[in-house]
Structure 1
């Protein structure tokens, strides 16, 4: 269903594939089923020792792709395998849930792991960007708008703007991560069978959420896909911010500009035919991710708009690959960005030389007033300070 964990056409995916590959998905689905058993046990439908024994005896299920196709999703073959392996709890296993409850909740568990990884990478990148912003607040360089010289700026302000984008993304990720919900509605979003099993099916759902340390959203969201689109939006926003950094570095690193350079790493960036080349591979791959992420986010919105009836006929199914691809794309690009900015080589002398040679253009706005590019920086230093204050506050919180 999901394809290969690591693809030769997705460079860098090996960094994070384990977070959302088939093994991770199976692990998450099993966690969901066990959490439901614990909730049923809390309601008196199973003995605690039965659940504990099931957890001890739990096999590593192997799912036949043909069985997944026959069922339309991986949950039924998983449940069949678990019932066969755990006869003492088989009658209650999955009872009251539906396949969408399990898979949606498992995807939220996988998303949480990915978001934690992304947050770590963004925090690492932010620390290095803060250093660059502070170190280069006085490194004057040409400002460029619409590909032409504008007015002088500093590389410190450029790095501060990159940092602000990273902090915005990290905030968006944190907001989504804190609200990741379980899915629990039963066959058609009414908790009908759960209502036959217990006096208060909502309390059962709430306990289910507690078992997984996820949020009970108040009602099922089988056809109200806001949790998925909100997740996709935060991921896309993150890759947008990473893409700006990569695109700027690629432009400023062109040999005719050469104001920054991606650090050379042994064995990376070589050409198959031109021995003189050292390609900026990390920046290229991050930019590639930024060109892919918006389409994946849009796919999730398209699916959300077609989530009809009480459970969708294909729109839900079409989410899966796009959601997982966007999770892994973001985690990969965030990891690559942290490495890119940690090793970024900045050439302030070249920046200054470019600014001085282009002074006529860069200072045209100010008219006949004297002074060089370094005297026409406006509030650049204050803007750097504002972003650094925000960074330090978030770091120390």
Structure 2
């Protein structure tokens, strides 16, 4: 029976796409191992190290049709080493003497590190596509709502007017940076090894001399992986970096989900994540509830992803090899990838179908009755008088008085003698219009969505 919620019959459908699940299914991992052994044999045959006939037989039998998970598990129960269990099961499947050339000169970590890198490559490819889809949804929201006014919040309080398009463009810029990080980190993360027991090519050099380093390059090239400059077997920082990329995704998407969660509160009702009114239920007893379940899930997943990264960061490879990091790899990396995939899929769904309530955003913008426009008035006063700090003190006093008396700031300031010395009521009215104080809103949005760059 399933022990993890990811594999639950009830909840499992909420977690991960079939594409990502398939990468980490046991049979897929076994096939990765077989692919490594097949590729190694092919390259070694091409370079004259093993007979071509043996390599062809290894290739013919290098599938889970012949080397089954069941048989590997049976042998593992005796050997307690999965690589040897796979090699012996593979040898059983081969005819003649071909099985003697499986894993020729290689070590277990050559097998495991290289095939893990293959899975990480598939994962990074899928996640980059997800991020590009999220970026597309955010670009659309930024463009469509470039003039949808809302309050910009700092320290939980209204600060200045912004637009929802500007907010979405900020989110898009954060996502763009993740795409850049993924692309830049590939050369460090997607690295394999075919270097023997302690990574100095001793076995391969004994068998084939100086060509041994070329052999590694040929094998890794066929998997689309980078070749290391020296032994990477004792180095697991590349895996920590991968998990840190996942943790950074968690930071970004928790922020986005949390802001949507807050914006969706009934008191604000500025946005709403997609909700299926015909089928979806948010409470067993309150029929009216329309909970932001997906954003809540993203927030929880993000915390677990970062927690996994923190735990993995405590591990290093002792000397040339020890088993502790392998257990952490097997426990943490697949789970973190499944959770990250789930988070990205939920984010795509939310942002694609996000409802934006323009009228409510404008209503909430006006809730402080003009107080969020005090900076514009203060700066206009500074321009008139040449005294910025004096102007600040004057507008601050007027703002505090209007707030504490419960009067709209616009009406209060229009009867404030010290302000009327410098501005007409019509000028004050124009200064207090939020749409007149958006700075480079459109130009900055265009710069993010790729329409135009600022000079």
Relative to the length of structure 1, the TM-score reads: 0.90
State the alpha-carbon separation in 2 of the partners of residues 286 and 29 from structure 1.
Answer: 33
1:12 corresponds in structure 2 to: 14
> 1:56 aligned to 28, 38, 60, which one?
60
2:273 corresponds in structure 1 to: 262
State the alpha-carbon separation in 1 of the partners of residues 284 and 22 from structure 2.
Answer: 30
Q: Cα RMSD between the aligned structures? A: 2.5
| Contact persistence 1:5–1:17 (CA under 8 A) | no
> 2:330 aligned to 316, 320, 330, which one?
320
1:80 corresponds in structure 2 to: 88
Q: Which has the larger displacement, 99-108 or 365-374? A: 365-374
* Partner secondary structure for residue 143 of structure 1: strand
Alignment of 1:1-397 (within 5 A): 6-8=6-8, 12-15=14-17, 16-60=20-64, 61-63=68-70, 68=76, 74-87=82-95, 88-179=97-188, 180-200=190-210, 201-265=212-276, 267-268=279-280, 270-304=282-316, 307-366=317-376, 367=378, 370-389=431-450
State the alpha-carbon separation in 2 of the partners of residues 230 and 236 from structure 1.
Answer: 10
Shift of 1:260: 0.5
2:402 corresponds in structure 1 to: none
The superposition leaves residues 160-191 of structure 1 with CA deviations (integer Å, 9 ceiling, x where unpaired) of: 01101111111112223355111223112222
* Partner secondary structure for residue 311 of structure 1: coil
Shift of 1:158: 0.6
Q: Which fold has the larger relative contact order, with Cα–Cα distance below 8 Å and residues 6 or more apart in sequence?
A: 1
| Contact persistence 1:157–1:384 (CA under 8 A) | yes
State the alpha-carbon separation in 2 of the partners of residues 274 and 68 from structure 1.
Answer: 53
Q: Which has the larger displacement, 368-377 or 342-351? A: 368-377
| Contact persistence 1:143–1:151 (CA under 8 A) | yes
Residue 339 and residue 43 in structure 1: after superposition, are their counterparts in 2 closer, same or farther (change >3 A)? same
1:395 corresponds in structure 2 to: none
Q: Which has the larger displacement, 248-257 or 313-322? A: 313-322
* Partner secondary structure for residue 90 of structure 1: helix
State the alpha-carbon separation in 2 of the partners of residues 391 and 45 from structure 1.
Answer: 58
Runs of 4+, deviation exceeding 6 Å: 2-5
Residue 383 and residue 68 in structure 1: after superposition, are their counterparts in 2 closer, same or farther (change >3 A)? farther
State the alpha-carbon separation in 2 of the partners of residues 96 and 48 from structure 1.
Answer: 17
State the alpha-carbon separation in 2 of the partners of residues 5 and 355 from structure 1.
Answer: 42
Shift of 1:139: 0.7
Instruction: State how many pairs are aligned.
Output: 389
* Partner secondary structure for residue 275 of structure 1: coil
| Contact persistence 1:186–1:194 (CA under 8 A) | yes
Residue 325 and residue 109 in structure 1: after superposition, are their counterparts in 2 closer, same or farther (change >3 A)? same
Shift of 1:142: 0.9
* Partner secondary structure for residue 216 of structure 2: helix
Shift of 1:341: 0.6
State the alpha-carbon separation in 1 of the partners of residues 449 and 73 from structure 2.
Answer: 51
* Partner secondary structure for residue 358 of structure 1: coil
Q: Which has the larger displacement, 11-20 or 146-155? A: 11-20
* Partner secondary structure for residue 91 of structure 1: helix
The superposition leaves residues 48-99 of structure 1 with CA deviations (integer Å, 9 ceiling, x where unpaired) of: 4432333223341215557557655532221221111124421111122111
Residue 352 and residue 33 in structure 1: after superposition, are their counterparts in 2 closer, same or farther (change >3 A)? same
Shift of 1:377: 1.8
Gaps of 5+ in 1: 393-397
* Partner secondary structure for residue 216 of structure 1: coil
Shift of 1:273: 3.6
| Contact persistence 2:26–2:69 (CA under 8 A) | no
